[in-house]
Amino acid sequence: MHWYRKTTEQALAELQVTPEGLSASEAQARLQQYGPNRLQEEEKISLPRLALHQFTSPLITILLVAAVVTFVLREWADTAVIAAVVLLNALIGFVQELRAEQSVRALKGLLVARARVIREGREQEISASELVPGDLVLLASGARVPADLRLLQTIELRIDEAILTGESLPAEKHSQTLEQDNLIAGDQTNMAFMGTAVVNGRARGLVVGTGNHSLLGSIAGDVRAIGTTKAPIQEKIERFAHTIGLLVLGACAALFFIGIALGGSAREMFMIAVAAAVATIPEGLPIVVTIALAVGVGRMARHNAIIRKLPAVETLGSTTVICSDKTGTLTRNEMTVTCLHDGQRFYEVSGSGYIPEGQIIDDAIPLLANEREELARLLRIGLLCNESELYRASDGDWHVDGDPTEGALIVAALKGGLHSEIEREQWPRQALIPFESERGYMASLHRHGDGGVIFVKGAPERVLPMCELDSAERDRLLQVAADIAARGLRVLAMASKAVAADHNELPQEALQSGLQLAGLQGMIDPARSEVIDAISGCHDAGIRVLMITGDHAITARAIAAELGIIADRDAPVITGQQLEEMNDEELYARVAQVNVYARVAPEHKLRITRQLAERGEIVAMTGDGVNDAPALKSAHIGIAMGKTGTDVAKEASDMVLTDDNFASIFAAVREGRVVFDNLRKVTFFLIPTGVAALFSIIITMLLGLPIPYVPAQLLWINLVTNGLQDVAMAFEPGERGILCRPPRDRREGLMSRLLIRRTFLVGGLIAAGVVLIYVQALKNGASLECARTQAVTTMVFFQFFQAWNSRSETASIAHIPFFSNPFLFIALLAASLAQLAVLYVPGLQWLFQTEPLALTAWLKILLVASSVVLVVEIDKWLQRRHQPPAHCQYE
């Protein structure tokens, strides 16, 4: 229902309310009808469901099947090993997701606790949850709006709606009826919405929407209705698992039937096939995926990012487009005066935000206000014709109590050398006319010395006609104001008028002429300085940054140009009104070129996000307002702000930034790329062993020889080569130039074409080396147990050398610091000792059917196994020749 189009009388009649408010019985009846005024509670964390979720990975499913098979065959040791891997993976995932959920829930606290209402003709305070449609609510400065209200009466009311509309300036409110249809929330100036904050003024409003029926609640409902977007890493692992499962099933079936055809027993060949399947399946991958993501979570936490879902870590690393809100995310959400004009010349104001540090600069020369009388008068008017206060909180941060615009004027005066206490003592205020949008200015009367003075500030088009200026000069100054506004700045004009000392009143008639112009002050919500570097880094990394804001197009374009989101101020900007006129096909075509969207509504953000995804982009959406929540949920990764973000936005997100800083996202992008790189390294490390095991068994069978391993030895190879090293590789540091690469092709799987080719190259080499050692041992008269021992040891040490190859796809191992990953060094040392124990400890010799090796055998094994390093190094060198590395500031 468009309440903003109804008159106050129609709204009261619609809800059957009198000016005395509801009776207690009627309020209770409506509470039963509409329910409490609170958003629907998110479903509590279900521990059993969270635990079961850990077993849904396709690779885990394959392992569970293998565990069942080994259990049926009474191979208890194999069953125990597989079960341990599955349970450890589940435990790590369970703990991480539980901790992330609890971290986000601890951030809650937006909704209003109490509200002042009129019921049965008297004012009373009640719990905001008891508000019902038809209640009459009283608003005052500093209060938070407890429900959606149709304003009935207003006095100088301004409301900060940044959490809802994205606008950095408070919205001026009134009670008049609006005739336009389809107005977005930011343009409904006779409405107040749940969760927004009253900056100044007072009002009486009629509750027209509570809880889930408020604007806040409807957006939360839209968020809940949006299905979860599957992370790219989840899709890649599922495809990889299905492919591996089919290949392993086919290869082991072929192995079984070849063995039968060559005279092997069915039971023996079945056990060999099962052992080969377990050896080939990278059962370490699920746990390494979880550990790598968990490591990424820890690293991102150091960059002020709380990860709610593990896959979000890698998703951020594969992002191709970041859609960001403006206010508070790209900007400081602190208005700042950056430009002064005293009627004749311009001054630059340095510094940013509410910190009163900076200078007034004229032609690169810093000035103090007392050095130029006209400059002092301009700054003094902004300081004293003002109802706000600047203060420093206990945490050391500077804040404004009141209007951000007035706070910016105070800060500018302090930068010019004026002192608030001294100025207020020398120019005590006698009377005040508050700002009203209909009037367009604010005025204050001050006593000074033997006389008095009136200070006025307001819109240039309203104040300049009140000044003693000829038409040519007035037109010139109006053009100056227009030029400043075209740069995205809000412009205020300052003027004064001397009066007699006994002048104690401030009639508006005295202000309509005779004012002396002091000048203009231009201000803007400034960009975060660190964000400029972050956006430049995103561009180097091949990531587009889009600004999607509820602010006006001129301001959005100016900030976007300053940040480097667009190349110049002539770049196209699409507004919400233009989006309303576009169908999805037209928007699909435009999202590829346009980087700035202004004056948009919540449904527009959602449409933009969906069309980007339709184009194959991996979309990250940042935001803090309720208006961001649907797009946060729909995006591949939603990034909410921890300080200023609403509950709805946080619950819809995959990641929460505790410092609300876009620059932290860029740091997290690097960690996301490191995670995926490490998953690829682990995969390249794990798969060749299985390929080599299958190849070597088939080759020896075709040669008419006994297979080079017994089932227990295959399982040992799997354990000793994959048990620790793969986990250690999850801790690999990022490679140089990781942010210089473009985002990965979304269609590319967990293994690139390069790694697939190299996997078969390495797998074939390992198989050939194992068969060579095995056949030579038999020819030299070694026993079958000794030959198999040499074959197993060769396979194990091939994989040890392969671990070093896997540390980079293209970089030579000579350029990778040996101890940059101490976990890998420790894992290889432990695995080597374990292999020696299998060869020389009697009990283990009996279990794995091994024999001690002579020194000559060791030399042959190490020489052959190390060949994998030489072959892969040559392949890397060829790769670097064809694809020279990119160069950028992050290399």
Helices (H), 19-143: 24-34, 47-53, 58-72, 76-105
Q: Give the amino acid at 514.
A: G
Enter the tokens of residue 802.
Answer: 């392969």
834 contact partners, CB below 8 Å, separation of at least 6: 720
Please state the φ and ψ torsions of residue 105, each to the nearest 5 degrees.
Answer: -65, -25
Contact 658, 305 (CB under 8 A): yes
26 contact partners, CB below 8 Å, separation of at least 6: 134
Enter the tokens of residue 206.
Answer: 């009629």
Please state the φ and ψ torsions of residue 463, each to the nearest 5 degrees.
Answer: -80, -40
Cα 453–457–459 angle (5° rounding)? 150
Cα(858)–Cα(393) distance, rounded to whole angstroms? 70
Q: Give the amino acid at 517.
A: L
Residue 829 burial by Cβ neighbours in a 10 Å radius (0-12, 13-18, 19+): exposed
Cα 51–52–53 angle (5° rounding)? 90
User: Would you call 270 helix, strand, or coil by DSSP?
Assistant: helix
Cα(243)–Cα(251) distance, rounded to whole angstroms? 12
Classify residue 745 by its DSSP letter: P
Cα(530)–Cα(533) distance, rounded to whole angstroms? 6
Cα(128)–Cα(617) distance, rounded to whole angstroms? 42
Contact 652, 633 (CB under 8 A): yes
Cα dist. 296→50, 236, 299, 752 in Å? Answer: 20, 18, 5, 22
| Segments of 161-246 assigned E as strands | 171-172, 191-192, 197-209
Helices (H), 262-325: 266-280, 284-301, 311-317
> Which H helix or E strand runs over 526?
none
Contact 443, 385 (CB under 8 A): yes
- Residue the block writes with tokens 């004064």: 496
Contact 618, 746 (CB under 8 A): yes
Residue 654 burial by Cβ neighbours in a 10 Å radius (0-12, 13-18, 19+): buried
Residues paired with 517 in a beta bridge: 495
Rg (C-alpha) for the chain, rounded Å, is: 35
Classify residue 630 by its DSSP letter: H
- Residue the block writes with tokens 């030895």: 713
Cα(280)–Cα(222) distance, rounded to whole angstroms? 45
Enter the tokens of residue 765.
Answer: 């080499």
Q: How far apart are the first and last CA of the chain?
A: 56
Cα 92–93–97 angle (5° rounding)? 120
For the annotated catalytic residues, the residue numbers are: 325
Closest CA to 694 of 256, 325, 308, 317: 256
Cα(640)–Cα(651) distance, rounded to whole angstroms? 9
Q: If DSSP states are collapsed to H, E and C, what string results for 316-363?
A: HHCCCEEEECCCCCCECCCCEEEEEECCCCEEEECCCCCCCCCCEEEC
Angle, helices 266-280 vs 711-722, to 10°: value is 10
